[in-house]
Chains A and B, each alone.
Chain A
């Protein structure tokens, strides 16, 4: 059974097993909102992100299985199990021959904490603070977010400012350090209380060794979310719109093309959430 088939089977099983209780819905996939689970509530969220199209053939599925817990009022935590399946063309450095290779990798575990400061509907602006750490066999990552959102009638607006610090342990003596800065902006409209159509935009910048700006890629695309009392789903298709590349020595900055070295032509993310 392939990875995709087994994940689809898992999701189908979870739909059958879940009871008729409420779930904490999300309306966007890259952009977080300020809401948190109630104390004692538990939710499972399978994530699938498809990232496709680089300089040569590239198709990558990032799978995350999230277990989310309401800890005390306004505070939730979550554990993630991360996996990656990648098929890409690789060129052998000595022979120059290109071959298509596939691989599956365990991406470690992540732990998230999210604290809600104010509500998007009841207060002037909804807000929350978010912190996540990841530990994998060959890398570690810390991530922080400031989450702002506002519900105005049937309209919903959300903004996230994200900072991430990644360490890649390439060999015993060599560690590569990278800093990422991301901004996510989303707008959604409730067509019905259950159905939200929207737009999500995202910029992602990478700083090599935490200092030198390598690239900023901009993505934007439509999103859809549907919720029932026991479950919800959200999906976004985000093509890369343009990129701003850092200046390389002896070369002018190139802002005319997409960045296909660090980012993909298109990202698609689908989330499901089910109450346990």
Chain B
């Protein structure tokens, strides 16, 4: 490969590497989550994403949402509140669960395809 071809390839690799690892919620996520979490909206899922970063990244590396099966996220969050004293109210826990459930579902479905 010529040097000219190598530079765009390197830039593409760097850009891919610098992409946010935690997807922003979409209308599709909100629609899917609404069937399981009443009142789910893009704004509410975005709040769940913000809480996930603010609450969890202070203590440990964040997991990608699809590292955990969608239905297991609510239990993970409950365990962190119960056993590790994570300060998160019920509404915040519900928003976080909805976000992680929706994005985990989306990423896992994309993986299967």
Chain A residues packing against B (C-beta within 8 Å):
20-25, 35-38, 40-41, 70, 73-74, 119, 121-125, 150-153, 156, 190, 193, 227, 229
A40 CB contacts on chain B under 8 angstroms? 87
Grouping DSSP codes into helix (H, G, I), strand (E, B) and loop, the B interface class, with mixed when no group exceeds half, is: loop
Q: State which of B19, B20, B59, B83 has its C-beta within 8 Å of the C-beta of A24.
A: B59
B53 CB contacts on chain A under 8 angstroms? 119, 122
Are B58 and A41 closer than 8 Å at their CB atoms? yes
User: Closest B-chain residue to A232, C-beta based?
Assistant: B60
Check B21 for interface membership: any CB of A closer than 8 A: yes
How near does chain B come to A159, taking the closest CB pair, in angstroms?
Answer: 13
Q: Mark B86-103, 1 if CB is under 8 A from A, else 0.
A: 110000000000000000
Are A121 and B19 closer than 8 Å at their CB atoms? no
Q: State which of A20, A70, A156 has its C-beta within 8 Å of the C-beta of B58.
A: A70
How near does chain A come to B20, taking the closest CB pair, in angstroms?
Answer: 6
Q: State which of B62, B84, B85 has its C-beta within 8 Å of the C-beta of A122.
A: B62
Check B17 for interface membership: any CB of A closer than 8 A: yes
> Please, how many angstroms separate the alpha-carbon atoms of A23 and B61 in the complex?
11
Are A22 and B21 closer than 8 Å at their CB atoms? no
With A21-B84, A153-B64, A193-B61 given, name 19 new contacts (CB 8 A). Answer: A20-B83, A22-B80, A23-B59, A37-B59, A38-B55, A41-B58, A73-B54, A119-B62, A121-B57, A121-B61, A121-B62, A121-B64, A122-B53, A150-B17, A151-B21, A151-B62, A152-B17, A153-B21, A156-B61
Query: With A21-B84, A40-B87, A119-B53 in contact, do A35 and B21 touch (Cβ < 8 Å)?
Result: no
Chain B residues packing against A (C-beta within 8 Å):
17-22, 49, 52-55, 57-64, 80, 83-87
B63 CB contacts on chain A under 8 angstroms? 193
Are B20 and A41 closer than 8 Å at their CB atoms? no
Are B21 and A152 closer than 8 Å at their CB atoms? yes
Q: State which of B52, B57, B59 has its C-beta within 8 Å of the C-beta of A41.
A: B59
User: Closest B-chain residue to A35, C-beta based?
Assistant: B57
A36 CB contacts on chain B under 8 angstroms? 58
